[in-house]
């Protein structure tokens, strides 16, 4: 029995989580006792700081290891994904600073819930046991359910929250059922121990069913087809800063969990889950590409786009190789950057009547707001995967992994889906540049401009600046799983 519960030093690998947990509690107390008017901004600020400090801690604090009787693992992969998640959450909060009051989000509970959700995500990423996996997932999910329905007086938001909750609970149930089957047929809950048992003999039917249910539950969390239905409704229904959060950090965390489960636990029966992942990947890419074309609402479009991008990321995963994991890691990092940038642009476009909702509201902003228009255009081109923008490298990595694994059909379908998806991204660009402006926009808050400039610069100069570094780090991260 290790002494990690009694020794503070032995807890070193879990310091980031501890910091976040304690920070959340302190923030909650601060919120209760602070002045309602001035307190909110301060709490948001502190929350952003807390997330940022945690991210830095994860990045520079090299303590790695297994804690709590094997329930918690901190390794290179976990650290990479945690930095992404924390960055995503922090930026999602930054986006809400000056837009919160328009969306009824200016309550101190919001940043606290975001931190709690982030804590859940960190636990998911570090989960090394079916139980801790489920608890981390539920901490995240419950926080997200509340955040989704945060704007209580809005019918749309509560409907979205309820849908999210019902479908989410159902998927959690499926995940739990799968987990119990896996436990029943291996006698273990710890992920690496399960892998050892599986590698001993032929997988039994019960194990396969457990795997399928487990993956179905996880597919819901990354919103992959056929468990994607909640995504467009929820993205559209909840306030935009919340959508920004939903689209970024939780996706990364769930994908990390997905990767860890399939590679750590079910590595010996890779050919079984590869079939599932390939199916889900193709279904996501193709459905998203076609369904997005008919959308008129910007946020629904982004929802489908995110479904499609999950499909592309899964292309890398279905390769079942280290290169594949590396590709997915890079993909998630780039996807996160593009998502944050895109939502910063959307939140930056505010008229007297409110925020832009329809794609047609973007008409002609190239003339009225050239900076934001070029930001959106860069991100759209990057989402399509046009070189030399970052999005191209993301797709390049995953398709390369698929081709390496001889999955030519998958790669070709992916490229075709990507071509079809260009159709709806370009429609946005065309609307912005070629239509006549029909709205007057209010001045953009500075922090949004900074975020837009930052993400656009990263996307454009990816190959020259961060590309090499990211590739190295992702390589280390992927290496730690094998």
Piece in contact with other proteins (CB under 8 A), picked from 3-11, 86-94, 227-235, 334-342? 227-235
Closest to other proteins by CB, 97 or 373: 373
**Residue 359 within binding range of other proteins, rule CB under 8 A:** no
Segment near other proteins (CB under 8 A), from 8-16, 19-27, 146-154, 419-427?
419-427
| 405 binds other proteins, rule: CB under 8 A | no
Binder of other proteins out of 258, 273, 381, 425 (CB under 8 A): 381
Does the footprint of other proteins cover residue 399 (CB under 8 A)? yes
453 binds other proteins (CB under 8 A): no
Which has the closest alpha carbon to 88: 39, 156, 133, 140? 140
Q: Which of residues 149-208 bind other proteins (CB under 8 A)?
A: 162-163, 166-167, 170-171, 174, 181, 184-187, 204-206, 208
Position 467 contacts other proteins (CB under 8 A): yes
Smallest gap from Cβ 243 to other proteins, in A, equals 16
Q: How many residues bind other proteins (CB under 8 A)?
A: 63
Q: List phi, psi (to 5°) of 386.
A: -85, 130
**Which residues have a Cβ under 8 Å from the Cβ of 200 and sit 6 or more positions away?**
none
CB 316 within 8 A of CB 397: yes
Judged by CB under 8 A, which of 419, 442, 450, 457 binds other proteins? 419
409 binds other proteins per the rule CB under 8 A? no
Among 45, 268, 388, 437, binds other proteins (CB under 8 A): 388
Total length of the chain: 482
**Minimum Å distance from CB 88 to other proteins?**
25
Looking at the Cβ atoms of 33 and 469, the one nearer to other proteins is: 469
Residue 212 lies near other proteins (rule: CB under 8 A): yes
Binder of other proteins out of 229, 270, 453, 454 (CB under 8 A): 229
Of 305, 332, 322, the residue nearest 390 (C-alpha):
332
Q: Is 32 in the site for other proteins (CB under 8 A)?
A: no
Based on the shown chain and the rule CB under 8 A, indicate whether residue 294 belongs to the binding site for other proteins.
yes
Give residue 208's Cα distance to chain centre. 27
- The residue within the footprint of other proteins, chosen from 63, 415, 454, 466 (CB under 8 A), is 415
**Min CB(240)–other proteins separation in Å:** 19
Structure-token match 């979205």, residue found: 160
Closest separation between CB of residue 229 and other proteins, Å? 4
- Per CB under 8 A, contacts with other proteins among 253-292 are 287, 290-292
- Kindly tell me which of 99 and 418 has the beta carbon lying closer to other proteins: 418
Q: Which is nearer to other proteins, 64 or 159 (CB)?
A: 159
216 binds other proteins (CB under 8 A): yes
Smallest gap from residue 340 Cβ to other proteins (A):
24
Q: Which stretch binds other proteins (CB under 8 A): 6-14, 71-79, 132-140, 212-220?
A: 212-220
- HEC string of the chain equals CCCCCCCCHHHHHHHHHHHHHHHHHHHHHHHHHCCHHHHHHHHHHHHHHHHHHHHHHHHHCCCCEEEHHHCEEECHHHHHHHHHHHHHHHHHHHHHCCCCHHHCCCCCHHHHHHHHHHHHHHHHHHECEHHHHHHHHHHHHHHHHHHHCCCCCCHHHHHHHHHHHHHHHHHHHHHHHHHHHHHHHHCCCEHHHHHHHHHHCCCCHHHHHHHHHHHHHHHHHCCCCCCCCHHHHHHHHCCHHHHHHHHCHHHHHHHHHHHHHHHHHCHHHHHHHHHHHHHHHHHHHHHHHHHHHHCCEHHHHHHHHHHHHHHHHHHHHHCCCHHHHHHHHHHHHHHHHHHHHHHHHHHHCEECCCECCEHHHHCCHHHHCHHHHHHHHHHHHHHHCCCCCHHHHHHHHHHHHHHHCCCHHHHHHHHHHHHHHHHHHHHHHHHHHHCCCCCCECCCCHHHHHHHHHHHHHHHCCCCCHHHHHHHHHHHHHHCCC
Interface with other proteins (CB under 8 A), residue from 310, 411, 428, 458: 411
Residue 1 binds other proteins (CB under 8 A): no
Q: Which residues bind other proteins (CB under 8 A)?
A: 162-163, 166-167, 170-171, 174, 181, 184-187, 204-206, 208-209, 212-213, 216, 226-227, 229-230, 232-233, 287, 290-295, 381, 386-388, 392-393, 396, 399-400, 403-404, 408, 411-412, 415-416, 418-420, 422-423, 426, 430, 433-434, 463, 467-468, 471-472
């Amino acid at each position: 029995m290790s002494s990690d519960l009694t020794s503070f030093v032995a807890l070193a690998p879990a310091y980031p989580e501890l910091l976040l947990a304690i920070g959340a509690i302190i923030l909650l107390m601060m919120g209760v006792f602070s002045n309602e008017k001035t307190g909110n901004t301060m709490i948001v600020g502190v929350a952003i700081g807390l997330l940022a400090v945690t991210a830095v801690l994860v990045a520079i604090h090299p303590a790695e290891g297994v804690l709590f009787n094997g329930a918690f693992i901190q390794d290179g992969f976990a650290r990479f994904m945690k930095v992404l998640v924390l960055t995503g959450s922090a930026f999602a909060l930054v986006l809400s600073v000056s837009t919160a009051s328009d969306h009824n989000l200016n309550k101190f509970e919001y940043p606290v819930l975001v931190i709690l959700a982030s804590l859940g995500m960190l636990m998911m990423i570090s989960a090394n046991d079916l139980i801790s996996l489920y608890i981390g997932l539920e901490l995240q999910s419950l926080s997200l359910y509340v955040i989704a329905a945060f704007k209580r007086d809005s019918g749309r938001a509560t409907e979205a929250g309820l849908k999210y909750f019902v479908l989410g609970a159902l998927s959690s149930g499926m995940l739990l059922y799968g987990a119990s089957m896996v436990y029943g047929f291996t006698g273990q809950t710890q992920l690496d121990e399960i892998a050892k048992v599986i590698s001993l003999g032929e997988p039994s039917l019960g194990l396969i069913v457990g795997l399928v249910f487990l993956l179905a539950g996880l597919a819901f969390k990354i919103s992959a087809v056929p468990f994607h239905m909640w995504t467009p409704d929820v993205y559209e229904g909840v306030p935009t800063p919340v959508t920004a959060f939903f689209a970024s950090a939780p996706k990364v965390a769930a994908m990390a969990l997905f990767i860890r489960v399939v590679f750590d636990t079910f590595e010996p029966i890779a050919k079984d889950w590869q079939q599932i992942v390939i199916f889900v990947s193709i279904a996501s890419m193709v459905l998203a590409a076609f369904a997005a074309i008919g959308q008129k609402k910007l946020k629904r479009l982004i929802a489908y786009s995110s479904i499609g991008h999950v499909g592309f990321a899964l292309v890398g995963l279905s390769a079942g190789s280290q290169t594949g994991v590396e590709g997915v890691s890079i993909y998630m990092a780039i996807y996160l950057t593009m998502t944050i940038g895109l939502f910063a642009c959307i939140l930056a476009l505010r008229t007297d009547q409110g925020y832009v909702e329809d794609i047609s509201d973007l008409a002609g902003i190239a003339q009225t707001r050239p900076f934001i228009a070029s930001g959106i255009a860069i991100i759209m081109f990057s989402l399509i995967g046009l070189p030399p923008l970052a999005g191209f490298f993301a797709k390049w990595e995953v398709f390369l992994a698929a081709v390496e694994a001889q999955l030519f059909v998958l790669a070709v379908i992916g490229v075709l889906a990507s071509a079809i998806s260009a159709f709806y991204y370009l429609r946005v660009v065309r609307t912005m540049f070629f239509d006549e402006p029909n709205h007057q926009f209010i001045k953009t808050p500075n922090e949004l401009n900074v975020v837009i400039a930052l993400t656009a610069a990263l996307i454009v100069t990816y190959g020259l600046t961060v590309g090499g570094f990211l590739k190295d780090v992702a390589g280390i991260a992927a290496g730690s799983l094998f």
